[in-house]
Amino acid sequence: MNQDHKAPVHKILNHSIVDGRGNRTAVFLQGCNFNCAYCHNPETIDWKDPTVSLTWMTPAEVTNRVLANVPFVRGVTVSGGECTLHPEFLRAFFWDVKDRGKGKAPGGGNLTTLIDSNGSYDFRKDPELLKVTDGILLDVKEGNPEMHRELIGASNVQVLDNLVYLAQRGKLEEIRTVVVPGRTDPEETIRTVARLLGEHRKQATYRLIKYRPMGVRKEMLKGLKVPNNHTMEELRNLAVELGFGKVIVT
Amino acid sequence: MAEEQGKKWTLAQHQEKVKSIISDETLTPHQMTYALAAAGRDLLDTPGMDAQVEADYRDMKAKGWICDLNEGDVTYMPRYILPDYAKLMEKGSDFLRLSPPETLLDAIMALLAMYSSVPSVTHFPVYIGRLDRLLEPFVKKEMEKTGGEETSFQMIKMFLRTIDRTVFDSFCHGNIGPEDSKTIRLILRAERELQDSTPNLTLLYDPKVTPDELGALAIETALDCAKPSFAKDSLFREELGDHYGIASCYNGLPVSGGAYTLTRLILARVAEGAKDKEDFMTRALPWAIDTMLAFMDAKIGFLVKETPFFQTNFLVKEGFIQPDRFNGLFGVVGMNECVNTLMEKEGKDGKFGYDVGADNLALEIMDFIKDRVDHHENPHCPFWKGRFMLHAQVGTDADSGISPGTRIAIGSELPLYDHIRHAALFHKYFPSGTGDIFPFDSTAAKNPEAVLDIFKGAFDSGMRYISTYSSDSDVIRITGYLVKRSDMDALEKGEAVLNDTVVLGLTSRQKSKIEERKVRKVEEE
């Protein structure tokens, strides 16, 4: 694999228990093609901004960072920004992790690779990447196309296509929806996801995330409300009723 | 023998002590009785010590180099006893007039009855058995009878609650695992509902035997009520054999046996009393070790030969314990401060945990202690081939500026993985117990598998025992034992509380900054 594809690394967390199954190293790449109003790490959106602190690293360099955390991590999750903006890096990095991470997970398993994505990347066209990726944590920010465009500034057609395709391929690690009262229609989103997934929803994990203002750009805060626990519980109940395998509210 | 600054008490001083105990308004009748027993015991001298060695011992005790952990000079009962409760299930007990239990209720009754007849240094049982294995056959029968688990659950909950309300101290320890069972799940469920500090609980964990889902459930439980802790089952079995248990704080000991005594060497104070590293390694440390060994020999000799326990107690007579499975525990404490003091005396900057030189010095000290203790023979310790077992003593409420065993001081914690790797350097020295505590942010409970990964990694790195609790749980681990924060708050306000250990917890909270222990976040750079 070509080790020349450097990626702009925003930061690396040696220990994260909120980025997929088990304890993982989380790598945050700089740059995003979405511009979500409620983004809680907006400093990762622009990767051409010269004031942003980032480190260009080769796949092997990042793998070394992951291996330094053996035997405490089950694998790595690459997040962003939007990490699929750097597919060449991802392919080489995951290939390297799988190659050098054999038998290195706690208890002796192989290190696993996850992608945290906004779903804008066409995974159908990159079988090589899917081959070395164990799963994708897929954001489905909004099921309604108009609301999606308004909230994100981009279409959700590709996101919903990925949802179905990844589920069919057994690569849908988790679906994630942030609940922002008034700005999203989480009920419709959950129903849309359930309908599109069909039988696959029984194996799917759905994470419903409460919007929180921490980190959000000041100019965006207006009109963003934190949902109450009651709303979150109602949504949980809906997702459970619709037959998702596992529903998590955070 | 009671003493002050190395001088024996006069009769008048003893009388004064007794008077002060019986007029102390803060003591419950039980506590008064135990204090009087200790006062009586303290009238006796340690027999069989060479005069010079005894003088050295008195001097070292006065300087705080050696501590008898309130056992006094003479011991008339073993400090830790781990009866084979499986025998009670099989055969009942003549002395307790109990026939072998047939139902879950019988079994619970029999265990509770026996617990009250198992002595220890605290007068309460420090080991209450492998609860899931003991009760599983009866739970299965009960479930068949009642067609569900609810009755069994209620009985197990009552059982655990009764232990908490009748054993007034948290050094009482139950074991579970490594295998899955109905009972282990009922116990975990009950503990979460009860939120009690007693009994302490350890999961004997083996990733090859314990299903991951059960391991994660145990973590979730620990993040809710500070128990169970995890012991590396394969390592303890390798060292102590299959028939072992975890008692008191985290003490690995043979079942059907236990420990005669635990005496501790306060390395922090020995280092203060040495000129420099060389003086420490060549004079102070070997002298203190030899003195402590002589004291332990004398004490164990007296217990075995001069007291009737091992001849007459029903636990021995009915085969619940075997005298040849008892051992002396050689405790060490305050390595963190010892190393920092010696580094300072050498004019070096490095601190324990932060500097390879400091850590290597700690390892050199441990190798030295192990070697010297291993070369000392005691005829009453056949189980460990005539040697004393090393123990990382966890501290007492009297300690100030002395970190438990070989732990890094609270306030000086390293990043998570580095801290675990550092702790693991020392766990191999302590077959009879050591352990470290990693509290997590309460949100970690949403991903218990992740904490399980970290525990597995800790065991793979060489740790033998690890505990967690959550930033907002009421029950928390002080050093090795558990105390409810709400009980400490009540005591601080001057309200009476049932459990003795709350006093120790509160003093430690005030002196040793227990609540400032680094809480591990859900993510760390």
Per-residue pLDDT of chain B (525 residues; tens, 9 = 90+): 677 766 778 889 999 999 999 998 878 888 899 999 999 998 887 678 899 999 999 999 999 999 999 898 888 999 999 999 999 999 999 999 999 999 999 999 999 999 999 999 888 999 999 999 999 999 999 999 999 999 999 999 999 999 999 998 889 999 999 999 999 999 999 999 999 999 999 999 999 999 999 999 999 999 999 999 999 999 999 999 999 999 999 999 999 999 999 999 999 999 999 999 999 999 999 999 999 999 999 999 999 999 999 999 999 999 999 999 999 999 999 999 999 999 999 999 999 999 999 999 999 999 999 999 999 999 999 999 999 999 999 988 888 899 999 999 999 999 999 999 999 999 999 999 999 999 999 989 989 999 999 999 999 999 999 999 998 889 988 888 899 989 898 888 888 787 878 888 888 888 878 888 999 988 888
* Angstroms from B520 CA to nearest CA on chain A: 10
User: Hey, are the CB atoms on B453 and A12 less than 8 Å from each other?
Assistant: no
Q: Which amino acid is at B433?
A: G
List residues in chain A touching B: CB distance below 8 A: 11-19, 21-24, 26, 69-74, 105-107, 248, 250
Instruction: Answer left, alpha or beta for residue B291, where phi above 0 means left and psi between -120 and 50 means alpha.
Output: alpha
C-beta of residue B353 within 8 angstroms of C-beta of residue B414: yes
Q: Which of A13, A18, A23 lies nearest to residue B454, judging by beta carbons?
A: A23
b/e code A36-64 from CB counts within 10 Å (16+ = b): bbbbebbbbbebeeeeeebeebbbebbbe
Contacts of A43 (CB under 8 A, 6+ apart): A10, A52
Chain B hits for A74, CB-CB cut-off 8 Å, are: 450, 453
User: Hey, are the CB atoms on A14 and B417 less than 8 Å from each other?
Assistant: yes
Q: Which of A17, A21, A73 lies nearest to residue B444, judging by beta carbons?
A: A17
Q: Is B345 exposed, middle or buried, given 0-12, 13-18 or 19+ CB atoms closer than 10 A?
A: middle
| Nearest in space to B446 (alpha carbons), one of A90, A42, A23 | A23
CA distances from B258 to B229, B322, B393, B458 (A): 20, 9, 16, 27
Please tell me if residue B95 touches chain A, with a CB cutoff of 8 Å.
no
Residues 401..420 of B with a Cβ closer than 8 Å to A: which? 415-417, 420
User: Hey, are the CB atoms on A22 and B523 less than 8 Å from each other?
Assistant: no
The SS3 call for residue A247 is strand
Tell me how long chain A is: 250
C-beta of residue A4 within 8 angstroms of C-beta of residue A43: no
d(CA B373, CA B367): 10
Pairing mode, strands A205-210 and A24-29: unpaired
Dihedral of CA atoms B2, B8, B14, B17 in degrees, nearest 10, equals -50
CA distances from A105 to A66, A102, A129, B219, B523 (A): 11, 8, 21, 19, 18
List B520's β-bridge partners, or say none. Answer: B440
Q: Which of B446, B460, B522 lies nearest to residue A71, judging by beta carbons?
A: B460
Chain B hits for A248, CB-CB cut-off 8 Å, are: 446
C-beta of residue B219 within 8 angstroms of C-beta of residue B164: no
d(CA A49, CA B72): 71
User: Which residue bears the tokens 């003479």?
Assistant: B74
Pairing mode, strands B66-67 and B173-176: unpaired
* Angstroms from B363 CA to nearest CA on chain A: 23
Peptide bond into B228 cis (omega under 30): yes
Tokens (6 digits) for B502: 């709350």
Chain A hits for B205, CB-CB cut-off 8 Å, are: none
User: Hey, are the CB atoms on B447 and A22 less than 8 Å from each other?
Assistant: yes
* Angstroms from B440 CA to nearest CA on chain A: 11
User: Hey, are the CB atoms on B456 and A107 less than 8 Å from each other?
Assistant: yes
User: Hey, are the CB atoms on B457 and A15 less than 8 Å from each other?
Assistant: no
* Angstroms from A247 CA to nearest CA on chain B: 12
User: Hey, are the CB atoms on B522 and A71 less than 8 Å from each other?
Assistant: no
C-beta of residue A10 within 8 angstroms of C-beta of residue A57: no
Q: Which residues of chain A have pLDDT under 50?
A: none
For residue range A170-181, list pLDDT tens digits in order. Answer: 999 999 999 988
Q: Which of B415, B443, B453 lies nearest to residue A22, judging by beta carbons?
A: B453
User: Hey, are the CB atoms on A71 and B461 less than 8 Å from each other?
Assistant: yes
Q: Which of B447, B454, B525 lies nearest to residue A11, judging by beta carbons?
A: B525
Chain B hits for A14, CB-CB cut-off 8 Å, are: 415-417, 524-525
Q: Which of A14, A17, A71 lies nearest to residue B450, judging by beta carbons?
A: A17
CB–CB contacts below 8 A, A to B: 76
User: Hey, are the CB atoms on B523 and A13 less than 8 Å from each other?
Assistant: yes
Contacts of B386 (CB under 8 A, 6+ apart): B377, B378, B379
User: Hey, are the CB atoms on A72 and B443 less than 8 Å from each other?
Assistant: no
Say what the pLDDT of residue B5 is.
64
C-alpha dihedral sign at A175, A180, A185, A187: positive
User: Hey, are the CB atoms on A106 and B457 less than 8 Å from each other?
Assistant: yes
Tokens (6 digits) for B116: 């009250």
The SS3 call for residue A25 is strand
Chain A hits for B525, CB-CB cut-off 8 Å, are: 11-14
* Angstroms from A83 CA to nearest CA on chain B: 19
Contacts of A209 (CB under 8 A, 6+ apart): A176, A177, A178, A179, A250
Q: Which of B453, B468, B518 to mutate to test the interface with A (most CBs of A within 10 A)?
A: B453
Say what the pLDDT of residue B504 is.
85
Q: Which of A10, A13, A15, A249 to mutate to test the interface with B (most CBs of B within 10 A)?
A: A15
Q: Which of A18, A69, A72 lies nearest to residue B447, judging by beta carbons?
A: A18
Tokens (6 digits) for A209: 């995330």
Tokens (6 digits) for A23: 């304890």
Closest chain B residue to A248 measured between Cα atoms?
A: B446
Say what the pLDDT of residue B496 is.
76
* Residue A23 per-residue DSSP state: S
Domains of chain A, first to last:
7-249 (3.20.20.70)
d(CA B69, CA B51): 22
C-beta of residue B357 within 8 angstroms of C-beta of residue B348: yes
Q: Which of B214, B414, B456 to mutate to test the interface with A (most CBs of A within 10 A)?
A: B456
User: Hey, are the CB atoms on B447 and A12 less than 8 Å from each other?
Assistant: no
| Nearest in space to A247 (alpha carbons), one of A212, A206, A214 | A206
Kindly calculate the radius of gyration of chain A based on its CA atoms and give it in whole angstroms: 18
* Residue B323 per-residue DSSP state: G
Domains of chain B, first to last:
1-43 (no CATH), 47-74+263-415 (no CATH), 76-250+435-482 (3.20.70.20)
User: Hey, are the CB atoms on A22 and B415 less than 8 Å from each other?
Assistant: no
Query: What does the DSSP assignment read for B347-364?
Result: T----TTT-HHHHHHHHH
Instruction: Answer left, alpha or beta for residue B132, where phi above 0 means left and psi between -120 and 50 means alpha.
Output: alpha
Say what the pLDDT of residue A216 is.
85
Dihedral of CA atoms A239, A240, A242, A247 in degrees, nearest 10, equals 50
User: Hey, are the CB atoms on B525 and A13 less than 8 Å from each other?
Assistant: yes
Closest chain B residue to A19 measured between Cα atoms?
A: B523
C-beta of residue B253 within 8 angstroms of C-beta of residue B80: yes
Q: Which of B207, B460, B524 lies nearest to residue A15, judging by beta carbons?
A: B524
b/e code B230-241 from CB counts within 10 Å (16+ = b): bbbbbbbbeebe
The SS3 call for residue B282 is helix
User: Hey, are the CB atoms on B453 and A73 less than 8 Å from each other?
Assistant: yes
User: Which residue bears the tokens 């949980």?
Assistant: A236
C-alpha dihedral sign at B37, B38, B41, B43: negative
User: Hey, are the CB atoms on B524 and A71 less than 8 Å from each other?
Assistant: no
Q: Is the pTM of this model over 0.90?
A: yes
Closest chain B residue to A73 measured between Cα atoms?
A: B453
User: Hey, are the CB atoms on B525 and A24 less than 8 Å from each other?
Assistant: no
Which helix (H) or strand (E) element contains residue A114?
A: strand A112-117
d(CA A17, CA A11): 16
Q: Which of B206, B230, B417, B451 to mutate to test the interface with A (most CBs of A within 10 A)?
A: B417
Torsions phi, psi for B357 (to 5 deg) = -60, -45
Q: Which of B207, B417, B522 lies nearest to residue A72, judging by beta carbons?
A: B417
Chain A hits for B524, CB-CB cut-off 8 Å, are: 13-16
User: Hey, are the CB atoms on A13 and B524 less than 8 Å from each other?
Assistant: yes
* Angstroms from A44 CA to nearest CA on chain B: 16
* Angstroms from A22 CA to nearest CA on chain B: 4
Q: Which amino acid is at B7?
A: K
B484-487, Cβ contacts within 8 angstroms, sequence gap of 24 or more: B484/B195, B484/B196, B484/B197, B487/B197
Say what the pLDDT of residue A41 is.
82
d(CA B340, CA B352): 6
d(CA B232, CA B244): 12
- Alpha-helical segments (H) within B195-244: 212-225, 233-240
Residue B488: alpha-carbon gap to chain centroid: 20
Chain B hits for A11, CB-CB cut-off 8 Å, are: 525
